[in-house]
A = this chain, B = another copy of it.
Amino acid sequence: MAKKKIAVYPGTFDPVTNGHLDIMRRSMCLFDALIVAVALNPKKNPLFPIEERVKFIKDATRDLENLEVFAFDNLLVDFAQNHKASVIIKGLRAVSDFEYELQMGLMNRSIDQKIETLFMIPSQEYSFLSSSFVKEIALHNGNVSKLVPQPVKARLKKLSK
C-alpha cells in the first residue's frame, strides 16, 4: 500500500461555502492529497467567473498542505486520471443529491472501473447549505457570515448593492 492515495473533490463552487470547506477538511484526513476541481460549467451560468471561484477556495485553504485547486473543463474521469487520483469525493446532504450522484458515480465507473466515488456526510450545521441558498440570501441583503468565508461574503455584499 505504498502508493499515494489522491482524491478529487469536484464542484461548481459558485461560490465555495463553509459546507464545501468542511468536506475538504474531512477528506484531507483520509487521503494523502486532495485536489479541488472547479468545473467551468458554462451551462449553469455561474455568478462568479472561474478564476474567482478558484481564488476563493485557494484563499480559504491556505493553511492546508496537500490540497491543490484547479479549474477543469474536461470529463471528470479524465481530469482524475491526469492527476493520478483514484477517488472522487462528494458530499451528500439530501436524498435528491444522492440519486443524482449515484447515477454520476455509476456513469463514471462505466468509463473507468478504477476510479471509485466516495460519499461523505457534511457537518450537520451545514446540511441545509448550498451555493444557491447563499446567493439567494446575500443578494437580498441577508447575513451570510456563518455560511461562507469572509472574502466571499465581502464580494457578495458588493454585488447586492
Write the residues of chain A forming the contact surface with B, with a CB cutoff of 8 angstroms.
1, 5, 26, 29-30, 32, 66, 73-75, 77-78, 86-87, 92-96, 98-100, 102-107, 109-111, 116-121, 124-125, 127-130, 133, 136-137, 140-143, 146
Q: Tell me, rounded to whole Å, the shortest Cβ–Cβ distance linking A40 to chain B.
A: 11
Which residues on the B side are within 8 Å of A129 (C-beta)? 107
Q: Tell me, rounded to whole Å, the shortest Cβ–Cβ distance linking A6 to chain B.
A: 11
What are 5 contact pairs spanning A and B, CB under 8 A? A5-B30, A96-B100, A107-B137, A110-B128, A124-B127
Chain A interface, >50% SS class = mixed
Cα–Cα, bound, A94→B92 (Å): 14
Cα–Cα, bound, A141→B75 (Å): 8
Please state if A109 and B125 are interface contacts (CB–CB under 8 Å).
no
Cα–Cα, bound, A109→B30 (Å): 15
Q: Tell me, rounded to whole Å, the shortest Cβ–Cβ distance linking A75 to chain B.
A: 4
Please state if B106 and A143 are interface contacts (CB–CB under 8 Å).
no
Cα–Cα, bound, A121→B120 (Å): 12
Closest partner residue, chain B, to A123 (CB atom): B109
